[in-house]
Amino acid sequence: MKVAAGTSILKGIAIGTIRVYHKEETRTSRLSHLTPEQELSRFQAAQRAAQKQLEELYTRALETVGERDAAIFEIHQMMLEDEDYVGAVREALSTQGVTAEYAVQAAGERFSAAFSALEDPYLQVRAADVRDVSRRVVDLLTGAAPGGPEGEEPFILAADDLTPSETVQLDRSRLLGFLTRHGSPTSHTAILARTMGIPALVGVDFDDSWDGHTAILDGYHSCVYVDPGEELLSAMEARRRAHVQRAALLQGLRGQPSVTLDGTRTAVCANIGGEEDLEAALQNDAEGVGLFRSEFLYLNRKDFPSEEDQFQVYRRTAAAMDGKRVVIRTLDIGSDKRADYFGLEPEENPALGYRAIRICLTRPEIFRQQLRAILRASAYGNAAVMFPMITALREVQEAKALLNACREELKREGVPAGPLEVGVMIETPAAVMIADELAREVDFFSLGTNDLTQYTLAVDRRNPKLGRFFDPYHPAVLRMLKMAVEAAHRHGCWVGLCGELGADPSLTETFLRMGVDELSVSPTAILPLRKRIRGLDLSRREGP
């Protein structure tokens, strides 16, 4: 038996025959016997044909993976019309006397190399997209046929890499899983694989001789076993069946209320980092968005997002949730989340430094844009705003004053804004100790267990040497959470919990007995958490 490691894209198990797939390299002639005008005409015809193919792929992807992930093919269409890209092709045709396919291939390699050289991981991913688009046009120009494993039997695909279009076009009735030598967990191909529910590994140094051999792709342990023995095959097949049965049972909870046996109702919502997580939240039947991490709109870019940019994202999210509440946390930049264009100076202890609400209140020109965008989006759905890193009552009052000023501005401008609940993150001991005062100012609390643990125990959660001292189950942390819940309920505030502890089934009953009204977790944890809640009976007395 051979074993090879990789990076898991999706936790799952695939068992079947490996099919090694090598793309046929398209050969392009350099010099043309046609005029530059004729070659340009050939390019434009292939460009139109490629656009049509991409439109069809978008439609197919909509049905397979949903609007969020299908958007990659809209990006490909825009790339195909990009002025710089098309300009490079035109210049080569007019000055070098080359074929259209050679000009497209050269432009693709040039722009792909430029993206690959960037430090930003988000932009590096674009390199694969440029290659995908260019190959499509070259194949149309040369008449190359699309490739792929032949036959009718199910298979595990092994390839150097897969493009998003190749991934979407794979025969899902036969594809058990795939592994690639190249690629990354953040690539569009990986995102599509997760959405399509395909077990996959990237970064696997496989051997071509594996073709036709039986293999087990183990997404739980990030490895592939080739020619496994009968004992391992039997054990992994049992695990695979259990995984499938568990997933089917969980899907049966879609549309069911998150209510305990004694009738206690608790909303189970999703934590998301932007629109890219929205489809997963919907697929897992989130009862709302308990935490929209708006800072991700500010990361991986070179300048501040405009009010309009933010508004469109918030509006689409609120509309997609169709009346379910979307809690948008205002900018929580600083500490471990940094963007160079903010011009933040290095700090010896950034966790205790210039971050979150402290930046917003001292740089109101940034804060105003975000607050206006959130207010505008509230006219299109059930939105709420939440202020992070609160340590004093005056911080909430200042933030609310600015929010009200923005609402008045929009009113004067004739721009609609809907009702908007206002809340605060309870993630510092100071906020817990003044919870009664804070509850008089806001509509809800959101308990941030990650930072609350850090600040309560005086342990830097990013320091690997302190892992054994970072204890979110510490009695002091749990008592602070309970204190905050009790203070909120005394003043009519509802309470959500959006830290990582919310998905820990060993604490679900504890949180519900505290009176937490909403648990917000990663999308994949929603249905397991609902199952846990529906099996609890809070009318029974707690154990000794």
| Residues with catalytic roles | 188, 498
Are the beta carbons of 362 and 334 closer than 8 angstroms? no
First to last CA, the chain: 51
Which tokens in the block code for residue 90?
């035109």
Phi, psi of 311 (to 5 degrees): -55, -45
* C-alpha 248 chain-centroid distance: 23
Are the beta carbons of 231 and 13 closer than 8 angstroms? no
**Alpha carbon distance 530, 526 (integer Å):** 6
214-218 and 13-21 beta bridge pairing: antiparallel
SS (H, E, C) 287-317: CCEEEEEHHHHCCCCCCCCCHHHHHHHHHHH
Count Cβ neighbours within 10 Å for each residue of 17-29 and write b for 16 or more, e otherwise.
Answer: bbbbbebeeeebe
Which tokens in the block code for residue 483?
């204190």
**Alpha carbon distance 363, 370 (integer Å):** 12
- The region, left, alpha or beta by phi > 0 then psi within -120 to 50, assigned to residue 174 is alpha
SS3 363: coil
> Which residue type occupies 204?
V
SS3 223: strand
As beta bridge partners, residue 31 has: 98
Closest of 371, 459, 381 to residue 418, by C-alpha: 381
**Alpha carbon distance 428, 435 (integer Å):** 11
Are the beta carbons of 61 and 70 closer than 8 angstroms? yes
